[in-house]
């Protein structure tokens, strides 16, 4: 089913590339990028692939675009290190191979990211808020339907909470989770998790399976390498990523660029236990003036870019105009 993803991106005018380290990506108009024209980097989450963005891309304003399968997901080779910062470096390394670079200038990028991809985006920026990373200057972050990793772990103080996001603890134990998912069926697992986290909005339910999306996602999860890499992603989320965020807070490294928060207004605030703006303010953002939040209601679930592409694209477009 990987060919369906390739054909969809080709139809949208993208070229497909594979980096020297095995990261598969789709890109469009990169030659138009310069100091005044940033590249939009779209990062997906679990259990998806670059295909997640198929509905939003046609609605986006005309910017250079780079849309990878995250290392270990989709068609991309697994990373050696699974912490979000290291995975993010692999993504930027793949982009660097496609974009000319000089030692005296950096290319502006804006990270637009969902779920696990949003954690990668957050960690890439706060690793070095005032300096380029691999020759790229991050000038904006759009994070879709997440709270910081530390906040996520801190909300599991009730039985209902623990039940609602059981997969965080389950997947963080690869030695058990890999075999159990394989026995369950990787494709069935991906389908069932998507059904569990999607919302009740009728339009969203119609959008989600379009273009054989569930077949695409489930086919990737039939690969043992994807099951292994994605569980190790969550293992890092219970270890290295937690320590990264603790260090960042202790060292005063914050989000110093405009931050857009697009999220399910039905579900994420309930999980976070407090307003999302408050979650992302202190200690994470350098100031509330940098934050724009756009909750999407009406029963839209976790996959906001697939379930509500028009509203998601409009939120992103309006925010980009302010940068």
Residue-range domains of the chain with CATH: 2-321 (3.40.50.1820)
Question: What was the pLDDT predicted at 104?
Answer: 59
Query: Residue 303 in contact with residue 197, Cβ under 8 Å?
Result: yes
pLDDT in tens, 148-206: 999 999 876 677 777 878 999 999 999 999 999 999 999 999 999 999 999 999 999 99
Report d(CA 262, CA 113) in Å as an integer.
10
Query: Strand order of the sheet with strand 259-264?
Result: 15-18, 24-28, 65-68, 39-43, 107-114, 136-144, 259-264, 291-296
pLDDT < 70 positions in the chain: 102-104, 156-157
């Amino acid at each position: 089913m990987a060919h369906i993803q390739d054909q969809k991106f080709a139809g949208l005018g993208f070229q497909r590339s594979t980096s020297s380290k095995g990261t598969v990506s789709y890109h469009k108009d990169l030659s138009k990028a310069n100091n005044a024209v940033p590249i939009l980097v779209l990062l997906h989450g679990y259990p998806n692939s670059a295909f997640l963005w198929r509905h939003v891309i046609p609605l986006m304003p005309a910017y250079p675009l780079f849309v990878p399968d995250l290392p270990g997901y989709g068609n991309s080779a697994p990373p050696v290190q699974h912490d979000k910062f290291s995975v993010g470096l692999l993504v930027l390394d793949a982009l660097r191979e496609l974009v000319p670079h000089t030692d005296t200038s950096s290319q502006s990028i804006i990270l637009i990211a969902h779920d696990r991809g949003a954690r990668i985006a957050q960690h890439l920026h706060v690793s070095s808020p005032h300096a380029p990373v691999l020759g790229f200057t991050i000038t904006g972050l759009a994070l879709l339907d997440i709270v910081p990793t530390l906040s996520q772990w801190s909300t599991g103080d009730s039985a209902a909470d623990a039940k609602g996001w059981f997969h965080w603890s389950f997947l963080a134990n690869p030695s058990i989770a890999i075999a159990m998912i394989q026995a369950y069926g990787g494709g069935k697992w991906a389908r069932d998790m998507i059904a569990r986290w999607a919302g009740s909005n009728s339009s969203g339910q119609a959008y989600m399976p379009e273009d054989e999306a569930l077949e695409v996602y489930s086919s990737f999860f039939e690969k043992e390498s994807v099951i292994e890499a994605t569980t190790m992603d969550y293992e890092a989320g219970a270890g290295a990523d937690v320590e990264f965020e603790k260090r960042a807070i202790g060292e005063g490294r914050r989000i110093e660029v405009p931050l857009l928060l697009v999220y399910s207004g039905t579900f994420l605030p309930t999980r976070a236990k407090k307003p999302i703006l408050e979650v992302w303010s202190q200690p994470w953002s350098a100031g509330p003036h940098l934050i724009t939040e756009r909750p999407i209601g009406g029963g839209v679930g976790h996959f906001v870019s697939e379930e509500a592409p028009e509203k998601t694209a409009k939120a992103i477009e309006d925010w980009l105009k302010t940068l």
